[in-house]
Amino acid sequence: MYINFKAIANWAKSAAGITITISIAVALYATINSGPYVLVNTIITGGMLALVATGLTLMLGVLNIAMFAHGEYFMIGSLTAFYVFTPISNYIMENPDSFLVIIGPVIAIVLSMVSGAIAGVISEKLVFGPLRRRSTDNWVMNSFLLTVGLSVLLINLHQLIFGADFKGIVRYWGGMPVSIAGAFISRDRIMAFLISGLIVFLFWFFMTYTRTGRAIRAVSQDATGAQIVGINIENIVLLTIALSCALAGVAGGSLLFMYPSYPTMGLEPLYMAWFVVILSGLGNILGAVAGAFMVALLKVVTVEYIGAGWDFVVPSALIMLILIFKPSGIFGSEVRGVLDK
Amino acid sequence: MENIQKRQPVNTEKSREKENNSSISKESNQSLSKKGNQSLSKERNQSILKEGDQSISTLDVFLEKTGFTPVGLLGVILLLIMPFIPPFNQEYLLRWLIYAAFIAAMSVGFDFTAGYINIVNFGYAAVMGYGGYTSSILAINLGLTPWIGILIGGLNSAILGLIIGMISLRLRGIFAACLSWFFGLALMGLATKLVWLTRGPLGLRVPRMFATESNIPFYYLVIILLVAMYILCKWVVKSKIGLAFQAIGQNMDAARTSGINPVFYRVFNFTLSCALAGILGGFYAHYYAILTPEVMHTSKTVEVLAVAYIGGRGSLWGGAVIAFPFIFIMEIIRSTLSNLPGLNLIIYAMLLILVMIYYPGGFSYFFDTHIRKPKNKALRYFLNGRETSAS
């Protein structure tokens, strides 16, 4: 069997290769040094981040909207899951043998995805659509500021209608934690990771192999060209927003047991997802997934070795360094080309 | 006379955009004309301009130097006598006034970056907080008087702005905004975690600037800061540097091809606007006498951003004018409808969204197109100042 060592060496010398190798090394070191829970935490946080960040990178790639309100769809998803799951869990308490023990959480998570998609469609119809029809001059900046307003609006609507207290649940699926390689992991965490893995896989499959997914990618590469070959831009735009907000919503819904719902809960996933997008460059779904795990690792390792609360300082400093030396991200190549129209 | 026409006041947003598009070519024309024989006619034009200017009054000269229109000057005078007009002479209304003036000054500095070189400095509040922390830590640990501390805070923030400007050079638009945002997040994280220095979320207790309980000296200080910052920014923007800023904001590549060096202008812009933020941060710390990492939060930047954009980007005065009614309405809603928390923020977010979609020029555009051009000559002078001066 012939192995192309030269290609591997070249890859290892590229920015992507260096970062991936270093992250794997750091992950291994931390796992050996502090125990496997570092790896487990990284994988679960990374799975959630991958969902939010792929939505964000999709928005940026297709619609050129630098979303500041993406965390708010995360919040909407978790809020929906809370209000759907609370009655279900009360019912389960009374009837422990009901089929809802298994299905109930799934219903809540699916509904959180649907509510995220609906919220995305509504915001497209009420906010982005009117702006697009009015003018597309300086679109990136204007739409970005629009999403800033949207974020403030959604946060405070939550506070006004549902109150500012923490709305959380104890668990989705009960039962004993599972032991994997000496670390005890609750079933909810495993399920959350499985859900995010499944959805990212489905999403990647959809984008790569279906006709609609290819149409979305075509629009992200060249909107005019896509229109010439007969793609309905309006539908694609609507679908993209619904998809990316649904991804954020399902992330919020499936992590309700870790992050209770409250008005400003969306900020942290938003910061982290932006770190991922900047790190991995734009329009690259697999890159965003890899970047999500790197940022998650960075965060977990920071909390482990430096202390809680530093997890904004160290990742931002590192990402600023990356931005200085590689402005287009470690996997991307034409960030500026896409954004500077 | 062509030259004089070019110096006509840039009134409307649209005409300003046109001006900007032509400004790039104008810049290149100027550089060309230095070598070519066009320079002769140019000098003649300027001499004509000077001869025409000799009949202007001292008020006009003053207005021209400071960048105010008569109505603007009247507004400043109104602000100066405001603490003695009955509803505003109560202490709590004076506190609102001070906060409004503070936000107004912030929005001037913010608009200096966002409206001209078209980069939103998303860590602006963090830079402000950094200046405030510098000044207060000096005052607490070294006993330095706040007057010098504020200046040092401004200087320190200027250095920070220099760094942000330098490292964001290779990035454009939204990516530069993200970088400044991450910078702000990192600063806020540092302020929260360096407990031995900043006491973290507990907040730093800062000596006040004036020993009195009264708010009046603080009010005058912030008004002086506001006016001085406006004059400084206006002066820079009116000069050739401002033209270069606009060219860079519109189209960086075109600006570069016409011989503008974006490195200098962008770094200069960041440095100046961050220095202003640092000075204001010092004022904030020494007025409220307590400084928590909350002031560096992104939501504070969003507040300044909303004011600057509702006021109208690229105008400097728009945000400063709109800040006063805006802050007052917000405070009134907050204090009267206290059982509905967050309603004022909902209203301001709706306002920001509506303005961004349906009226992107903001208040200054509305003023320029609908109010500024009355038929009456005296009124016209009152609103615009002398005709040939750029307003």
Q: Is the dihedral of CA B346, B349, B353, B354 positive or negative?
A: positive
pLDDT at A175: 67
How close does chain B come to A285, measured CA to CA in Å?
19
CB-CB contact of B317 with B369 (8 Å): no
Residue A92: per-residue pLDDT: 80
Cα–Cα nearest to B284, from B74, B126, B78: B126
What average pLDDT does range A27-49 have in this prediction?
A: 79
pLDDT the model gives residue B388: 53
Give the contacts of B131 (CB within 8 A, at least 6 positions apart). B150, B153, B154, B156, B157, B277, B278, B279, B280, B281, B282
Domain membership of residue A11 (yes or no) is no
Residue A34, in any domain of the structure: yes
Which one has a higher pLDDT value, B276 or B22? B276
At residue B152, does pLDDT exceed 60? yes
Contacts of A337 in chain B (CB under 8 A): none
pLDDT band (50, 70, 90) for residue B25: very low
Q: How high is the mean pLDDT of chain B?
A: 77
- Asked if residue A25 is part of any domain, the answer here is yes
The CATH number of whichever domain residue A196 belongs to comes to 1.10.3470
Which of B173, B302, B341 is closest, CB to CB, to A141?
A: B173
Give the C-alpha separation, B164 to B150, whole Å: 21
Report the amino acid identity of residue B374: P
Q: What letter would DSSP give residue A258?
A: T
CA-wise closest residue to B302 among A155, A139, A152: A152
Task: With CB atoms and an 8 Å threshold, state whether B342 touches A160.
Answer: yes
Pairwise CB contact (< 8 Å): A148 & B352: yes
Cα–Cα distance measured from residue B243 to residue B266, given in angstroms and rounded to the nearest whole number: 13
A106 part of contact set with chain B, CB < 8 Å: no
Q: Which of A63, A75, A148 to mutate to test the interface with B (most CBs of B within 10 A)?
A: A148
Phi-psi region of A285 (alpha: psi -120 to 50; beta: other; left: phi over 0): alpha
- Choose among B187, B112, B206, B309: nearest CA to A152: B309
* Percent of the residues in chain B that have a pLDDT greater than 90, as a whole number: 5
Residues from chain A that touch B345, judged by Cβ atoms under 8 A, are: 152, 155-156
Burial A51-69 (b: 16+ CB within 10 A, else e): bbbbbbbbbbbbbbbbbbb
pLDDT of residue B26: 43
**What size, in residues, is chain B?**
391
The pLDDT of residue B336: 82
A17–chain B nearest CA distance, Å: 23
Q: What span, in angstroms and rounded, lies between the C-alpha atoms of B64 and B386?
A: 8
> Which of B238, B212, B296 has its CA nearest to residue B9?
B238
Amino acid at residue number B329:
I
Range of the domain at A239: 16-339
- Whether B33 has a pLDDT exceeding 70, the answer reads no
Q: Kindly state whether residue A9 falls inside one of the protein's structural domains.
A: no
Highest mean pLDDT among A231-235, B47-51, B102-106, B262-266: B102-106
Neighbours of B203 (CB within 10 A): 16
The DSSP symbol for B141 reads I
pLDDT of A204 strictly over 60? yes
User: Do residues A256 and A119 make contact, with C-beta atoms less than 8 angstroms apart?
Assistant: no
Note which residues in 71-100 of chain A have CB less than 8 A from chain B.
none
Q: Is the pLDDT of residue B260 over 70?
A: yes
Q: Do A152 and B120 touch (CB under 8 A)?
A: no
**Average pLDDT of A18-31?**
77
- pLDDT higher than threshold 50 for residue A227: yes
Which residues of chain B does A144 touch, with a Cβ-Cβ cutoff of 8 Å?
A: 120, 174, 177
Partner-chain residue, chosen from B174, B186, B352, that has the shortest CB–CB distance to A149: B352
B173 touching A (Cβ < 8 Å): yes
Closest chain A C-alpha to B168 CA, distance in angstroms: 7
Nearest beta carbon to residue B182 from set A142, A151, A320 = A320
Tell whether the model's pLDDT for residue A303 goes beyond 90.
Answer: no
Q: What is the mean pLDDT of residues B225-241?
A: 87
Cβ within 8 Å, pair B349-A313: no
CA distance A159 to chain B (A): 7
pLDDT at B11 over 50: no
Residue A246 is predicted with a pLDDT of 92
Question: What is the C-alpha R_g of chain B?
Answer: 22
Confidence of residue A245 (pLDDT cuts 50, 70, 90): very high
Structure confidence by residue, pLDDT tens digits, A121-134: 999 888 888 888 88
Distance from the Cα of A185 to chain B's closest Cα (Å) equals 30
- pLDDT, tens digit, for every residue of A157-181? 888 888 888 887 777 776 677 776 6
In this model, does residue A109 exceed pLDDT 70?
Answer: yes
Element containing residue B290 per DSSP (H, E): strand B290-291
CA distance B141 to chain A (A): 25
Q: How many CB atoms lie within 10 A of CB A70?
A: 30
Under the banding of pLDDT at 50, 70 and 90, the label for residue A118 is very high
**Residue B57 pLDDT exceeds 90:** no
Contact B188, B297 (CB under 8 A): yes
Confidence at residue B198, expressed as pLDDT on a 0 to 100 scale: 78
In a domain, A266, yes or no: yes
In a domain, A240, yes or no: yes
Model ipTM value = 0.79
- Interface check A145 vs B, CB under 8 A: yes
Summarize the confidence of residues A20-44 as an average pLDDT: 78
Tens-place pLDDT, residues B108-135 = 989 888 888 888 888 899 999 999 898 8
When divided into structural domains, chain A yields a total of 1
Calculate the average pLDDT of chain A.
Answer: 81
Helix, coil or strand: residue B36: coil
Least confident of A83-92, A139-148, B375-384: B375-384
pLDDT value of position A115: 93
Mean pLDDT of B314-336: 85
Query: Looking at the predicted structure, is the pLDDT value of residue A273 above 90?
Result: no
Count CB atoms within 10 A of the CB of residue B260: 21
B 343-382 → A contacts, CB under 8 A: 343, 345-346, 348-350, 352-353, 356-358, 360
Could you tell me what percent of chain A has a pLDDT over 70?
Answer: 90
DSSP letters along A157-169, please? HHHHHH-SS-B--
State yes or no: pLDDT of B48 exceeds 60. no
Work out the angle between the directed axes of helices A70-94 and A37-58 (0-180°, nearest 10): 120
Q: What is the pLDDT of residue A334?
A: 46
Residues of B in contact with A267 (CB under 8 A): 298
A contacts of B251 (beta carbons < 8 Å): none
Residue B360 has pLDDT above 70, yes or no: yes
For residue A123, give the chain B residue with the closest CA: B353
Q: Which residue of B has its CA nearest to A156?
A: B342
pLDDT digits (tens, 9 = 90+) for B96-111: 888 999 999 999 989 8
Above 80 in pLDDT, residue A340? Answer: no
Give the confidence band of A114 by pLDDT, cuts at 50, 70, 90. very high
Q: How confident is the model at residue B371 (pLDDT cuts 50, 70, 90)?
A: confident
For an interface test with B, which of A127, A143, A156 has the most B Cβ atoms less than 10 Å from its Cβ?
A: A156
Nearest CA among B254, B239, B263, B315 for reference residue B21: B254
- Whether A268 shows a pLDDT value over 60: the answer reads yes
Contacts of A304 (CB under 8 A, 6+ apart): A30, A34, A38
